[in-house]
Amino acid sequence: MRKFVAAALAGVLSLYAADAFAASCKAQADQKKLAGAARTSFMGKCERDASASCDASAQSKKLAGAAKASFTKKCVSDAVGGT
């Protein structure tokens, strides 16, 4: 039972981590009024950070192969703001 609760909590926390990126990438770029090369650079770094976070989340969920690729792709897309 404890393992199940721990796994469920880890899953919920990983979703919040992706939401934190989603709320921050595009929104922060807009808030900072970034444009052109500065925005491109900021969004690239944000996407790399989101990718690392999503990979870690997929690993904690013990995903592999196509399931991992699909999860990571959606997670990064959501984190960047669908751009």
> Domain spans of the chain?
2-80
pLDDT of 64 above 80 = yes
The pTM assigned to this predicted structure is 0.63
31 vs 4 pLDDT, higher one: 31
Q: In this predicted structure, what is the pLDDT of residue 5?
A: 45
80 vs 64 pLDDT, higher one: 64
**b/e burial code for range 21-34 (CB count within 10 A of at least 16 → b):** bbebbbeebeeeee
Per-residue pLDDT reduced to its tens digit, 24-53: 688 889 999 999 999 999 999 998 998 999
Structure tokens at 39: 């925005």
